[in-house]
Structure 1
Amino acid sequence: MRIRSALSAIALVLGALFAPGFGVFSSAADAQAATKISHATATSMFSSSGITWSSSGGCSNRNNPTCTSFDQLNLDTAKGAQTLRSATGCGLNITGGTETGHAGGTYSHWNGYKLDFGKSTCVTNYIKNTFTYIGVRGDGAPQWKSGSGNIYADEGNHWDVTYYNCGGC
């Protein structure tokens, strides 16, 4: 139990260090310095972890809002999805990546910090039972924060996840 407590304390400290406005990501300039990967690299990473993806348009063009693209995805975002898959044991299907059509901002889909995951009971139960509820976002979406500082917003038919780091990869 002491080891588990120590690991929990370390996770809390790391979460604070990687939270927006603190430590590693203290400015928009820092956020833009993230390592970017290609669509092909991301899909290879996801396939190797058993993560699926889909798009309403059946395409991957970053400039088409009906596609699901991973071009310019942050490496830590892709690793964060892998960490979630591994930690939950749940099936994950990505329904939104870096394509146009999402809300803007520094920590946005377009800038490689967010992924949308299709809802499943398994994933929802894991998020709500493992992470800390932190209240409702300005648009009404309830949010949970992982120990590493990543934010999981329940947008009704999917999870909108902001990855500030790889989630303990």
Structure 2
Amino acid sequence: MLVDVVIEDPRWNEDSLQTLAEAAADAALRKLGHDPSGFEVVLLACDDGRIAGLNAGFRGKAQPTNVLSWPEWDLSADAEGDLPHPPEAGSEDDPEPLGNIALSYDTCTREATEQGKNFDDHLRHLIVHSVLHLLGYDHIRDKDAALMEETEVLILAQIGVSDPYEAGAEMPL
């Protein structure tokens, strides 16, 4: 299993989220030339209270956010705008952990509504975005942000999700 979903908030539909997360993570890894069967991601499906606590503990920001990610390895590029270092894959029987992702139902739902986006497409975007973080992509420096956004848009197009930045939306945290 590529994505191990842990449901903390019962408003999440476990089967739907599992299918959606697997497809989004699979698309991201394949687009970047990686065999998804060699990797594993843990996805925590929680609420604003839980993600605010995680955000405070790990980023010093005591507020809810849509998504957080914690890479297992630092694969970041050596120079701004360069591709991150490739991860070392495990096997189907012993996949390599890429890291952890947390999604807040409250914030994701609110954002999708406010931005007029399909909820599932918004989740697909956030999962692709987070998998890219686990793979060493980032958006702090301008050239890195441009590379990450371009990569996201290409992956999302492959799975039928329109460009989430067309309307001037900001990149997720």
Q: Could you state the TM-score of these two structures normalised by the residue count of structure 1?
A: 0.32
Specify which structure has the higher proportion of helix: 2
Specify which structure has the higher proportion of strand: 1
Q: Could you state the TM-score of these two structures normalised by the residue count of structure 2?
A: 0.31
